[in-house]
Copies of this chain bind each other. A is one copy, B any other.
């Protein structure tokens, strides 16, 4: 893997030097990818093709097309498929040209950094993309994509990935994971149990999802008790397929312990299509506690992602659907909301609960103090918009003093974009090294400790937190 001429380290010469030394200690360590959204088909289908450069880099990446959209470029002109099958640009060279002409919009953004790194490190393209060189770079990428070394399994090796977790519905039979296992390939691609679509009763099509859960589990789910049994059974299946973790998305961190009777009453209303908004909120809050209970029992690490208002732009949602770059964070509260869950299981060391959020004002105020007390709690790395150089710097500054490094969970790339994985981990490792170098030079930690911390941040913490040993 080539290394670009960038480094992201402090402009202070002494700090830059220490940071580079620390970084070099972990630069070549394997990548632990415990949470992400890569399609497992990449590794199941031995003849997988990424398609055109636009199929690979633009159409699936809402980080990229949201920025173009924000400057008045329509999603149609970028080839994003419409729900109604209506016309969108099909000439990928034209899409690429638009992208290249607007590449300046990404100056100083993490997307710009990742893409530059990806073009250089993966495709050997060092030129800055612009309108003039757009087509030549398109050709260069397209040519590379036909080569055998760009087959996903080969890239997995080239990227030095040790393990990669996908994110999968509770009702998924995990056929691609099965294929990968049967193929005898050495790569470790593991599923993650994400039951939002059956657990959040306000999900569109929830009744169908529960019907499907009945089918999958062989349990006829006509009450809450069978629902719980079916979920436990699916968790066991995921675990048998290598899963070490679950993942749960919620608008807020609200938790509440319902009695079985209350839970069943809401569940019955939901089955009848009569559940109120408040029912949905309470049931989600209850199920988070219930999932924590199951994690205590089956040992799956529990992740909670809180604070994204999904599909904020109504017109875009109607025309293009979900994950179109229109999810916007909201303020989040944890101290009161998580108390019922933490009172139930927060002091249980056999639980690992990893929290992600999108409200940085909660870092120093609530999350670091909570993680610095409860044995079960760990903080995930800065998420989504904060998976960036400044986002990481703020996380280190606002979290570490109070939570302590060892109540954090290392890095996860959380990406759909397989080819951006090395660039993302590299940013984290460099940002970590730079932070540690500052601690060394301010004599807050000594070099011996910094080296240990560097290994933990770049490799060990994620592996341990996600039980990937």
Contact = CB atoms under 8 A, between A and B. Distances in A.
Interface in A188-212: none
A428 to B, nearest CB: 15
Contact of A333 (B10, B331, B360, B389): B331
Nearest to A434: B442
A87 interface: no
Contacts of A8: 442-444
A315 B343 contact: yes
Interface string A94-112: 0000000000111111100
B349 A405 contact: no
A405 B402 CA distance: 26
**Number of identical protomers:** 3
A329 B67 CA distance: 30
A336 B329 CA distance: 10
Contacts of A72: 349, 375
A7 interface: yes
A373 B66 contact: yes
Contact of A372 (B66, B365, B443, B453): B66
Interface residues of A, number: 93
Contacts of A405: 107-108
A346 interface: yes
Given A328-B370, A390-B401, A391-B401, A11 B15 contact: yes
A110 B11 contact: no
A69 interface: yes
Interface stretch (A149-157, A213-221, A281-289, A306-314): A306-314
Contacts of A330: 333, 335-336, 365-366
Nearest to A13: B14
Contacts of A109: 400-402, 404
Contacts of A6: 442-444
Nearest to A6: B443
B7 A443 contact: yes
Which 3 A/B pairs are nearest by Cβ-Cβ distance? A11-B441, A72-B349, A6-B443
21 contacts: A6-B444, A11-B15, A67-B404, A70-B371, A71-B407, A72-B349, A104-B452, A106-B404, A107-B445, A107-B449, A109-B402, A110-B401, A128-B446, A315-B343, A315-B347, A331-B366, A359-B365, A389-B401, A390-B397, A390-B401, A391-B401
